[in-house]
Amino acid sequence: VEHPAKATNRETREHNERLVLATVYDSGPVSRADVARLTGLTRTTVSDVVEGLLASSLCEEIGHGPSTGGKAPILVEIPSEARLLVGVDLGDQVFTAAIVNLRGAILQRVDAPSESTNGEGALRLAIDVMERALSLAGAPVLGVGIGAPGLVDASAGTVIQAVTRDWRMLPLGPIVADHFGLPVYVANDCQAAVLAEHVFGATRGPNLITVKAGQGIGAGLVINGETFPGDGYGAGEIGHTIVDPGGRMCRCARRGCLETVASMPAILVELSDRLGHPISQEEALRQFRLGEPDAHEVVLEAGRQLGAALGGLVGALHVRRFVLAGTMAAFGEPWLEAVAAAAADRALGALAADTTFELGRIDDVVVLGASALLMTRELGLSLHPFGSPRPPRTPVAVAVAGAAAASTPGLAARLGAAP
Amino acid sequence: VEHPAKATNRETREHNERLVLATVYDSGPVSRADVARLTGLTRTTVSDVVEGLLASSLCEEIGHGPSTGGKAPILVEIPSEARLLVGVDLGDQVFTAAIVNLRGAILQRVDAPSESTNGEGALRLAIDVMERALSLAGAPVLGVGIGAPGLVDASAGTVIQAVTRDWRMLPLGPIVADHFGLPVYVANDCQAAVLAEHVFGATRGPNLITVKAGQGIGAGLVINGETFPGDGYGAGEIGHTIVDPGGRMCRCARRGCLETVASMPAILVELSDRLGHPISQEEALRQFRLGEPDAHEVVLEAGRQLGAALGGLVGALHVRRFVLAGTMAAFGEPWLEAVAAAAADRALGALAADTTFELGRIDDVVVLGASALLMTRELGLSLHPFGSPRPPRTPVAVAVAGAAAASTPGLAARLGAAP
């Protein structure tokens, strides 16, 4: 029988460090006195923590604020590039590694076509794009966040299974951590996508579902402010739920999966059938925008099929906000409306009325989600912290792949001295 | 922008009190020295906390354990009836209030037929059964837990909407708390059901879905060890997801809801149609057990319909354990197998293979779930604490309806002196 561990002094210190860091990140430039006021911590504690953050160059003094009678207070802030994040998207068609700042801006990016590579070759290509991105970083790097396809054990950094890459039980996180000597976090790409919306998006509230519809279809869930991987990392794997028994053959060797009726390949197959010749994604998009009837009909039907599947989730989870991303989102508002209408048709009226579907407004959603994973796990930072109704937590060390973060000293100590 | 609150001394004290209480509950009879060893707390802290628990009679000294060289240690335990719980099920057909001990045993129960009552009358009947149950309690009562139909705001204790009772924005928790001067917790009945399985059942693991199929169909979700109500308390409302567009008319005034194909009323309607005369629930059960072909066919088809709907959840959430309860569960293993097979047919193979469906083994699941709600919220106790992969929390006061628990002194203080 396990019990909650007692709160130790170390945990309390790290909790307070994260609290100060998050406050300076959100409210900076800010004085130490204001940080004390905002956090409820004593001025001595705040000063101690800020000293540590200054010593590690994570925080900077940037001059004096207005005096409120006495001495003008010194203001501190967290420079956007105090640390850089490497965000990686191991996409179906392209591998991308980008240098991202602490506010979610992409500073540099390296892309490599990835469609024809798998196994060891795909792993080498992934490390290669990261290496090239790292060589472009102009400031100290916090670590690497990776959005990977397939079932991913995010606590160990292992890709359990990624059929498209022929990866099985690949310890991707530890391999990359060993290679670069940096902390590395790995998550499923759809779970990274939902984290991008949660951390860098305009989101409020503790719950969010992001649906990525493109080559495949998958969802990512944020539940109570945390990505929810399920009991075995498969949460969000909605693409291979059968919605049309006896329908078209799927790449998973069964018939009528959601992907066979609502993904980009599905509409290209259907359009090709109608037109009597193959059609590219670009051409389908062009025809849709021109209002070509076949393209319109096929795309909206795909939207309705996706919406009908999501309708089941509306009732089961009552999560108010669904964000749609992936290449299908390029079909824009008409497609979105088809999705939303079909979902509403399927769900209990009161719940449907309470649920919004919107298009993701974040480009490079997996790159940014992987960066967000790294930033939240290493620093506890989020651009949009939400007011959780739940008890505050004493943060403890998160399992990190690789030796670089194997021990768990205080946050400032772990970040090292100013480089 | 909100931040996690700093850990205060009061929170640390309450955290440690709950830790000691849970340890004595799980491991008792146990010595103070063993509690210190099991929790990692100092012996002084443990002794202080135990003194408080003894003073409130929540804990008892029950004699000496074996000596390990020196003085034989005094053993302490939490008597099963140190406090009694009032668990209430405001069911569709019967209102039940029961006196339940701290190990989930029902000591006394009061039932009242409820089918024909609603509005104020239903509220009066609910209070009446509680009053009668309370009069039977032979030991101090900790409070009241209520499983109510409809959308329930569990943090405020308000029934937002319960169509069957004609209740809208009914502050049930505060009303009952004022009436009895006790802490009162209210949850949706399906959410109570899942808590019963989680707290008193044979469950392990942080995630669990309970599906209650009877007059209606609803689910309760435990996610990361906590019931998940969704953004607006509607999570688990799967009964009115449309699975058969254009199908039978539902009591919600739409066609083809899951309830129209998989609930008890649905099979009674279908069987009546086939037989040419009305049939009761008892008669349907009897015919099914006798192997009567129509009953068999209709019941198994209802199981398949439920399974197909649950298949979508298997992929979306990857929660390994589904427990099926409600009157439909009386159809036993053949029905369960139909549910499980249909769910597996719909879900991705790897996820389906990883998911189990089982019949709930807890009678009075809502009564016990409501008791569990009270016990976990007030005392932080659970018969089956699970090894959560997440950080331990510093418990803080939970919002409680009613004046009795409006302030938040330490746990022992809140429980009061020995009665």
When CB atoms are compared, the residue of A12, A38, A242 closest to B345 is: A242
| A39:B241 CB<8 A | no
Encode burial over B120-139: b for 16+ CB neighbours within 10 A, e otherwise: eebbebbbebbeebbeebeb
Contacts of A123 (CB under 8 A, 6+ apart): A167, A170, A172, A175
User: pLDDT tier at A79 (50, 70, 90 boundaries)?
Assistant: very high
| A317:B230 CB<8 A | yes
Q: Which whole number is the average pLDDT over A365-381?
A: 90
| B224:A229 CB<8 A | no
Is 80 exceeded by the pLDDT of residue A368?
Answer: yes
Substitution target in B231, B243, B381, B396 with the highest count of A β-carbons within 10 Å is B231
The pLDDT, as a whole number, for residue A232 is 83
The pLDDT, as a whole number, for residue A8 is 65
Q: What number is the ipTM of this complex?
A: 0.78
Is 50 exceeded by the pLDDT of residue A157?
Answer: yes
Substitution target in B244, B313, B317, B384 with the highest count of A β-carbons within 10 Å is B317
What's the mean per-residue pLDDT of chain B? 86
A238: number of Cβ within 10 Å: 32
User: pLDDT tier at B399 (50, 70, 90 boundaries)?
Assistant: very low
Is 50 exceeded by the pLDDT of residue A292?
Answer: yes
User: pLDDT tier at B309 (50, 70, 90 boundaries)?
Assistant: very high
Phi, psi of B359 (to 5 degrees): -80, 135
Is 60 exceeded by the pLDDT of residue A69?
Answer: yes
- Helix orientation angle between A32-39 and A43-55, rounded to the nearest 10 degrees: 120
The pLDDT, as a whole number, for residue B8 is 65
- Whole-angstrom Cα distance, residue B21 to residue B27? 10
| Residue in chain B nearest A394 by alpha carbon | B393
| A392:B4 CB<8 A | yes
The pLDDT, as a whole number, for residue B419 is 38
| A6:B19 CB<8 A | yes
- Whole-angstrom Cα distance, residue A67 to residue A70? 6
* Cβ-based contacts under 8 A for chains A and B: 236
Is 90 exceeded by the pLDDT of residue A383?
Answer: no
Min distance B276 CA to chain A CA atoms (Å)? 32
Min distance A98 CA to chain B CA atoms (Å)? 29
| B232:A3 CB<8 A | no
| Residue A226, beta-bridge partner list | A223
| A396:B391 CB<8 A | yes
Is 70 exceeded by the pLDDT of residue B407?
Answer: no
Q: pLDDT higher for B384 or B370?
A: B370
| Residue in chain B nearest A208 by alpha carbon | B231
The pLDDT, as a whole number, for residue B348 is 80
| A3:B23 CB<8 A | yes
Q: pLDDT higher for A206 or A398?
A: A206
Rg (CA), chain A: 23
Task: Report which secondary-structure segment, H or E, holds B31.
Answer: strand B30-31
User: pLDDT tier at B404 (50, 70, 90 boundaries)?
Assistant: very low
Residue written as tokens 């199929």?
B213
In whole angstroms, how far apart are CA B410 and each of B53, B55, B89? Answer: 11, 13, 30
The pLDDT, as a whole number, for residue B7 is 58
The pLDDT, as a whole number, for residue B304 is 97
Substitution target in A9, A217, A394, A398 with the highest count of B β-carbons within 10 Å is A394
The pLDDT, as a whole number, for residue B367 is 96
The pLDDT, as a whole number, for residue B203 is 62
What's the mean per-residue pLDDT of chain A? 86
Q: Are B95 and B125 in contact (CB under 8 A)?
A: yes
Is 60 exceeded by the pLDDT of residue A405?
Answer: no
Long-range contacts of A329-337 (CB under 8 A, 24+ apart): A329/A213, A329/A359, A329/A360, A330/A285, A331/A285, A331/A288, A331/A299, A331/A303, A332/A359, A333/A359, A334/A296, A334/A299, A334/A300, A334/A303, A335/A299, A335/A300, A335/A302, A335/A303, A336/A303, A337/A303
| Residue in chain B nearest A46 by alpha carbon | B6
| A231:B318 CB<8 A | yes
Q: Which of B370, B310, B312, B318 is nearest to B339 (CA)?
A: B310
| A391:B387 CB<8 A | no
When CB atoms are compared, the residue of A234, A348, A390 closest to B240 is: A348
